[in-house]
Amino acid sequence: MPFPPLNLPVNLQNGLDLFFQRQDFVAFYQSYKWEQDTYPSGFPEILSLENSLRTAAMKNRITMQDVISVAKWGKLRNIKRVKGPEGTLNVGLYQHNRLPLSQLARDPLTPIVSLQRQVTGLGPTYLSKVIRFALPEEYGAIDTRIVRVVGRGDQASRQQNWLTLRVRNYGYGWYIPKAQAAWPNDYAKWLNILRFFASRLNDPHNPCPCPHPTNFIETGLRLRGVWTCADVEMAIFSYACQFI
């Protein structure tokens, strides 16, 4: 079960509650599509990446090979520009008992800031994707489609006023600049938005079970019906794709 949300303004919570009441998260989750990853196929590449990065992260042994695998999955342009140390990366996410570090509840940014210091050639989208695959219970990616719809920079696509994070497009495609005041603090806000929706979806008094593909349950990557932050992010990605 993801950590509870922290520090979300009351007016934002009210807006998120209204969004939650009006949207079908299950339908959005089931309509998620990225290359070969679809609900009918069981999200096979996502499953593979979660298996490998989660296993590595539990031993604090994420490597540049893991990072490149995520970059290839996301179709990152200029992968050759991605550089980092030859050994393992220091990205603390798990306790020795394989549970998430308790301090991530109040400070979820430390792992992504640490990764950013060690790896060059990655912007916020791919930095967040690496952490998302390593600890899907507590993290979701923040990509350009989501920011265009719930952040700033694409007035034609914007639907929600959740983030101040901006996207840019100078003719070579949309991207999220690292050099902006809202990064990385707005990523913490995004994670707490994901936690907020997860808490609503997992509410035992009014549950809305996540229909995970059976392979995620069988491999132990998910608890049956329990929404993770990554699951919620996938649903919101599908929502955002309607307006792109």
- Residue 203: exposure state from Cβ atoms within 10 A (0-12, 13-18, ≥19): exposed
CA–CA distance, 194 with 127 (Å, rounded to integer) = 17
Two tokens, residue 231: 């699951």
CA–CA distance, 176 with 141 (Å, rounded to integer) = 12
Segment 43-52, tens digit of pLDDT: 999 999 999 9
Q: What is the pLDDT of residue 45?
A: 98
**Residue 172 pLDDT > 90:** no
Place 209 in a pLDDT band, splitting at 50, 70 and 90: very high
Cβ-proximal residues to 204 (8 Å cutoff; 6+ apart), any chain = none
Place 58 in a pLDDT band, splitting at 50, 70 and 90: very high
**Residue 171 pLDDT > 90:** no
Domain locations along the chain: 10-241
Q: What is the pTM of this model?
A: 0.97
Segment 107-158, tens digit of pLDDT: 999 999 999 999 999 999 999 999 999 999 999 999 999 999 999 999 999 9
Q: Are 165 and 199 in contact (CB under 8 A)?
A: no
- The number of residues in the chain equals 244
Place 207 in a pLDDT band, splitting at 50, 70 and 90: confident
Nearest alpha-carbon partner for 19 in 149, 197, 189: 197
Cβ-proximal residues to 143 (8 Å cutoff; 6+ apart), any chain = 125, 128, 129, 176, 237
For the chain, give the mean pLDDT. 97
Query: What percent of the chain has a predicted confidence (pLDDT) above 90?
Result: 96
CA–CA distance, 16 with 85 (Å, rounded to integer) = 40
Two tokens, residue 51: 């298996």
Segment 75-85, tens digit of pLDDT: 998 899 999 99
Q: What is the pLDDT of residue 69?
A: 98
